[in-house]
């Protein structure tokens, strides 16, 4: 029996598996593309908060990017020091802000109201960063506009808090280097108004070629272009400016696989429907909203059939397809399938939709396998339901 079949037998099916060596290699590949120093690479916890992944990346030298207080909490619980964590996000309520400030986590805020909240807080830090809108599209809600940046500087005047960083985020899964460069030029132009600038944060969004034959992001070239601009900036300012990067998907997507088992096969003249024990509640796929994921058969049963094959989830939800129009070999109930590139925004976006327990997570570290999160059971689905009288 294969390792994967044994794992599924022990940990249940479907099952997420992550390869830590592959994540370490992806981190090294990424880091070598950016020669500029000082450089801090903060892994974006939002795309996979598995604590073994956080620890493995921290051991490689990564800090952490927190999109929410939950991300910061996951990083802290994985043993990462607060100084290694930077928050960038939107719409913190009072409790969220309190939590992050109490932990001593550096913040990049994205609105004037959030800046006012910070300035009114008893733990207001000496430095803050702001996230800048990357373009002037009227529908762009993220970040502060250039006029708002000017207002922010006025708000900060005489407060003892300096605007020391500017952040951008080019949007997720970009394979086009120019998109980053255009937004970075805006960041550089906006930074001219900041006398106390200490760092620029290029954010994340470094794409992954999910489709076979898809052109990859020219990361080496992007790294050189960004490094040259940072070098120039440091020379202009006559002091070293920090560069911060927040890759998520690029570091972990390819290292994760969602394994599942075939339950039933309906072979019709024009199409084959292969029912599996996973669903779109386990991983958000193209039929809902996500990139394409390759699906491979693990049980060898000869050549790929010409018959278009849909991989159907374990529900009758009309969009519960994990893959459509695939070419796969003959399949039988009990066969194993591997949904590839599932390490980013896989488990992190899984849910209790369709009322099925979420899968376990296993990490492979060198030659050893570790159960990193147990599979949920039916009681877990109901665990938070209570009947507590409320006095108003």
Subset of residues 321 to 360 that bind ligand PLP, contact rule: CB under 6 A: 344
Q: How far is the CB of 176 from ligand PLP (least distance, A)?
A: 13
Contact with ligand PLP (CB under 6 A) among 14, 129, 247, 291: 247
Whole-number Å distance between alpha carbons of 174 and 17: 25
The owner of tokens 């030659």 is 367
With CB under 6 A as the contact rule, the residue among 13, 48, 50, 67 that binds ligand PLP is 67
d(Cα 336, Cα 258) in Å, to the nearest integer? 11
Q: Among 164, 172, 257, 279, which residue sits at the site for ligand PLP (rule: CB under 6 A)?
A: 172
Restricting to residues 184-243, name those near ligand PLP by CB under 6 A: 203-206
Q: State which residue, 248 or 346, has the beta carbon closest to ligand PLP.
A: 248
Q: In the chain, which residue ranges form alpha helices assigned H by DSSP?
A: 3-11, 20-32, 51-60, 69-77, 94-103, 112-119, 146-156, 177-191, 219-237, 249-252, 378-382
Q: How far is the CB of 45 from ligand PLP (least distance, A)?
A: 9
Nearer to ligand PLP, 165 or 247 (CB): 247
- CB count within 10 Å of CB 293 equals 22
Closer of 217 and 314 to ligand PLP (Cβ): 217
Query: Long-range contacts for 356-360 (Cβ within 8 Å, ≥24 apart)?
Result: 356/279, 356/281, 356/282, 356/314, 356/315, 356/381, 357/381, 358/281, 358/282, 359/12, 359/13, 359/14, 359/15, 359/16, 359/258, 359/278, 359/282, 360/11, 360/12, 360/15, 360/16
Q: Which listed range, 49-57, 120-128, 248-256, 326-334, lies at the site for ligand PLP (CB under 6 A)?
A: 248-256
Shortest distance (Å) from residue 2 CB to ligand PLP: 31
Pick the closer one to ligand PLP by CB: 286 or 357: 286
Give the residue with the Cβ less far from ligand PLP, 167 or 364: 167
In the beta sheet, which residues pair with residue 19? 364
Selected binder of ligand PLP within 13, 48, 50, 88 (CB under 6 A)? 88
Residue placing its CB nearer to ligand PLP in the complex, 204 or 313: 204
Pick from 15, 20, 26, 47: which binds ligand PLP (CB under 6 A)?
47
Count of residues in contact with ligand PLP, rule CB under 6 A: 19
Q: Is residue 71 near ligand PLP by the rule CB under 6 A?
A: no
Between CA 267 and CA 182 the distance in angstroms is 50
Q: Closest by alpha carbon to 146, among 127, 162, 168?
A: 168
290 versus 324: smaller Cβ distance to ligand PLP: 290
Q: How far is the CB of 348 from ligand PLP (least distance, A)?
A: 10
**For ligand PLP, the closer CB: 41 or 336:** 41
Binding range to ligand PLP, per CB under 6 A, among 110-118, 152-160, 244-252, 297-305: 244-252
In sequence order, the β-bridge partners of residue 232 are none
Residue number, nearest CB to ligand PLP: 248
Distance in angstroms (rounded) separating the CA atoms of residues 276 and 350: 16
**Interface with ligand PLP by CB under 6 A: which range of 39-47, 99-107, 145-153, 324-332?**
39-47
Shorter beta-carbon distance to ligand PLP: residue 246 or 361: 246
Strands (E) in 268-367, as ranges, are 272-276, 295-297, 309-312, 321-326, 336-339, 360-365
CA distance 203 to 171: 9
Q: Are strands 272-276 and 309-312 parallel, antiparallel or unpaired?
A: parallel
Stretch that binds ligand PLP, among 55-63, 217-225, 247-255, 369-377 (CB under 6 A): 247-255
How far apart, in whole angstroms, are the C-alpha atoms of residue 228 and residue 251? 23
Helices (H) and strands (E) in the chain, counts: 11, 17
Task: Provide the binding-site residues for ligand PLP, judged by CB under 6 A.
Answer: 44, 46-47, 65, 67, 88, 169, 172-173, 203-206, 246-250, 344
């Amino acid at each position: 029996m294969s390792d994967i079949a044994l794992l599924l037998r022990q940990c249940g099916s479907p099952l997420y598996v992550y390869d830590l060596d592959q994540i370490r290699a992806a981190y090294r590949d990424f880091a070598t593309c950016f020669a500029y120093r000082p450089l801090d690479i903060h892994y974006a916890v939002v795309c996979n908060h598995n604590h073994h992944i956080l620890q493995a990346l921290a051991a490689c030298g990564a800090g952490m990017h927190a999109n929410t207080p939950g991300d910061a909490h996951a990083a802290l619980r994985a043993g990462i020091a607060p100084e290694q964590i930077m928050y960038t996000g939107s719409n913190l309520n009072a409790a969220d802000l309190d939590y992050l400030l109490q932990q001593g986590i550096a913040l990049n805020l994205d609105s004037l109201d959030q800046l006012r909240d910070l300035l009114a807080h008893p733990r207001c830090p000496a430095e803050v960063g702001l996230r800048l809108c990357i373009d002037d599209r009227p529908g762009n809600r993220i970040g502060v506009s250039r006029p708002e940046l000017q207002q922010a500087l006025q708000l900060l005047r005489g407060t003892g808090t300096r605007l020391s960083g500017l952040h951008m985020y080019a949007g997720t899964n970009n394979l086009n280097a120019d998109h980053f460069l255009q937004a970075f030029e805006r960041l550089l132009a906006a930074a001219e108004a900041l006398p106390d600038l200490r760092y620029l944060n290029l954010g994340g969004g470094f794409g992954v070629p999910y489709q076979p034959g898809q052109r990859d992001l020219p990361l080496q070239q992007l790294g050189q272009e960004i490094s040259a601009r940072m070098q120039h900036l440091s020379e202009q300012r006559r002091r070293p400016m920090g560069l911060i990067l927040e890759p998520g998907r690029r570091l972990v997507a390819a290292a994760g696989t969602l394994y599942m088992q075939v339950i039933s096969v309906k072979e019709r003249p024009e199409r084959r429907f292969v029912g599996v024990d996973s669903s779109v509640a386990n991983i958000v796929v193209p039929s809902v909203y996500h990139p394409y994921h390759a699906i491979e058969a693990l049980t060898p049963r000869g050549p790929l059939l010409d018959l278009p094959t849909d991989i159907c989830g374990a529900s009758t939800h009309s969009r519960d397809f994990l893959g459509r129009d695939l070419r796969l070999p003959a399949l039988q109930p009990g066969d194993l399938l591997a949904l590839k590139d599932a390490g980013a925004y896989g488990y992190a976006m899984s849910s209790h939709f369709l009322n099925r327990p979420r899968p376990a997570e296993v990490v492979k570290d060198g030659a050893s396998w570790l159960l990193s999160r147990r599979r949920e059971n039916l009681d877990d689905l109901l665990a938070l339901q209570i009947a507590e009288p409320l006095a108003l």
